[in-house]
Structure 1
Amino acid sequence: MRSEPVVEPVVEPAVEPVVEPVVPEPGSPPAPPPLAVRDLRIAFGGGVDRVEAVRGVSFDVAAGEVLALVGESGAGKSLTARALLGMAPRGAHVDGAVLLSGSPVTAAHRGRRIALVPQDSLSALSPVHPVGEQLAAAVRSVRKVSRREARARSLAALDRVGVPAARARAHAHEFSGGMRQRAVIAMALVNEPAVVVADEPTTALDPDVQDQVLAVLAAQREATGAALVLVTHDLAVVRQHADRIAVMYAGRIVEHGPARPVLDRPRAPYTAGLLASLPDPAAARKTRLPALPGHPPAVTDIPPGCAFAPRCPHTTDRCHVEVPALRALDDGRTLACHLEHPA
């Protein structure tokens, strides 16, 4: 007796309503940005053992804009990035506000309105499921669509980042590092989030592959209009891809403003020190690179006053006792430094 073939029931894709653009009334307040961070603080422990790893970070990111968070290891960049998605480490005490278009971020927003491009693509992808299947599962986790529609969306997302449809059946270990990073970009963007957080997305990739991955990320951001927070220590990447830059040190933003002015004429001594330590292609080959003295402080041992004071060449007595407030300058940037006319 012949058995009838099993036919997967057809589930009609959810019809997404067409939303007409809202034209604000004259004099009405502007729409909130896709991402707004207000006085973000992340601490560990309690009582006398309480330590703050992120201390009062605030910024906005507009639609289609790239904000780069830069600084040395331990500055609090990745911890800030994770907190934007509600993914702070277990045991962390998070205060302040992270707002998506004016609404507090929740776990339900991850993958739908805000998404992460992680640093380690191999750990981010399942080793036992084909890459295309993982993207389809990401689609179905936030959209009521059939498996067929989810597969179609996943293949389209992979195609947009340059991964051939035939590779959708491959597993993560069968991809090169660059192809894996393209796959996690596709996964982050498959549901067209309004905000994308890319945490060191080119770590451990060679320069050519880095350029390819960043070009893919830029093209997808331009196509979708997503706001992008780019976490990196590579100032060359920042110069090429960022609209604005926030320089972090010891859990605080010490300089924040349009990328080109900050990079061409840094006002914070820490920013100036970072830029001075970059290789100069025009310099003689045996020229010794200047380096910032000392090391960033551990979160358990942040000095009083300005945290950068022990390493700063322009320090005064005030710097060792008073934490500098982040103040607005007349050129559109903000700065945390006691110097009256820094840099």
Structure 2
Amino acid sequence: MTATPPDTDALLSVRGLGISLHGLPVVRRLSFDVRAREVLAVVGESGAGKSLTARALLGTAPRGARVTGSVRLRRAPGSYDELVGAPAPVLAALRGRRTALVPQDALSALSPVHPVGDQLAAAVRSVARVSRTEARARAVAALDRVGIADAARKARAYPHEYSGGMRQRAVIAMATINEPDLLIADEPTTALDPDLQEQVLRVLGEQREAVGAALVLVTHDLEAVRHHADRMLVMYAGRQAEQGPARRVLTRPAAPYTAGLLASLPPVETGGHGGRRRLPTIPGAPPAFDRLPPGCAFAPRCPLADERCRREEPGPRAIGDGHEVSCHRWEDVPHPATELFLERSV
């Protein structure tokens, strides 16, 4: 069975995305769609290829990378711009105007030698012919919209004078100030405490709604996915393990890898002996990209793996309701699927 065909209503359509670094394949045959105003969460362990995929979507893959396949951004109904292979000036013109990044490290994303407001105003003037006064007013308004108090004064401050949470709000303001069609947020809450994480995700969601953008949220935080995503894509070793509506994947995962990730989540409410139970874990570690096993890359860690899994790489198959899985044994995954890994908790 083949994967779901391209979504004709997609704002972003990715087909057969491949990324090699210095000749070594890292991301392989990745396909997904994102509709306007939709939130797609891309999840998986560190090293799964999530951030590299995000950079390829923006046309900012690192030096030495070769990107193949198709990444198409809708310009108008029935009309798309192909980003893979597009000239650098074309890609640069899209960034900030139609696509924008909310980076992992806000401090390094902001210039330390210019006031924050000046940086936002420069972002405005890079895409619109407006006066410095108008650009400055838009910068202050953008800071105010993301909840930075006394925005006119804070616009004159430098990044080091902002707290971590304020810096992250500032980069959200910068990403959304020109009302792009597509936002890419790459681990936007890294190094923030849980309360600040939720605040930043809420602000990001509010600004996404305000400008009508789609959002690709790269994260390892499944709780963030539960509360903020419409759809999710689970990656393992540079390949798709599973994708589909977030609620369906989180409650009825079809890939053993997804089940393992969910099993490792602390229960929302614990009491009695349940609060002291050791959480299940997935045994082993993800393989290095230059030492991928034959067949399914997850087979060495999977409790359901058989000889076919170790010999034949599974391709994505549609299993209903926009849900896809890359697994030979998906029909044998129990429900609740986390039972696959529960015996490892004792």
Cα distance change, pair 326–31 in 1 and its aligned pair in 2 (3 A): closer
Output the TM-score relative to the length of structure 1: 0.88
Matches within 5 A, 1:76-225: 76-101=49-74, 102-105=80-83, 106-163=91-148, 164-225=151-212
- How far, CA to CA, are the matches of 1:60 and 1:336 in structure 2? 17
C-alpha change, 1:183 and 1:165, in structure 2 (3 Å) is same
The equivalent of 1:282 in structure 2 is 270
Amino acid at match of 1:114: T
1:324 is aligned to 314
Unmatched 5+ stretches in structure 2: 1-6, 75-79, 84-90, 334-346
Q: What are the within-5 Å matches in structure 2 for residues 43-58 of structure 1?
A: 43-45=20-22, 50-58=23-31
Q: Give me the whole-angstrom Cα distance separating, in 2, the residues matched to 1:215 and 1:263.
A: 20
Q: Secondary structure of the equivalent of 1:35?
A: strand
Q: Which amino acid aligns with 2:168?
A: Q
Instruction: Note the C-alpha offset of 1:340.
Output: 5.4
Q: If each structure's helix is expressed as a fraction of its own residues, which one has the higher value? A: 2
Matched, 1:68 2:41: yes
Within-5 A mapping of 1:222-261: 222-261=209-248
Runs of 5+ unmatched residues, structure 1 = 1-29
Residue deviations 1:122-161 (CA, integer Å, cap 9, x gap)? 0000000000000001111111111111111111111110
Residue type matched to 1:328 in 2?
A
Q: Which residue is equivalent to 2:295? A: 305
**How far apart, in 1, do the equivalents of 2:8 and 2:144 lie?**
33
- Aligned residue pairs total 311
SS in 2 for 1:304: coil
Choose which of 284, 288, 292 in structure 2 pairs with 1:294: 284
Deviation at 1:193, TM superposition (A): 0.2
- Post-superposition shift, 1:299? 1.1
Aligned partners of 2:256 and 2:330 also within 8 Å? no
Amino acid at match of 1:33: A
- CA displacement at 1:32 relative to structure 2: 4.7
Following the alignment from structure 1 to structure 2, what is the Cα–Cα distance between the partners of residues 143 and 259?
37
Separation of aligned partners in 1, 2:281 and 2:152: 47
**CA radius of gyration, larger in:** 1
- Check the 8 A contact 2:116/2:155 in 1, yes or no: yes
Between the aligned residues of both structures, percent identity stands at 66
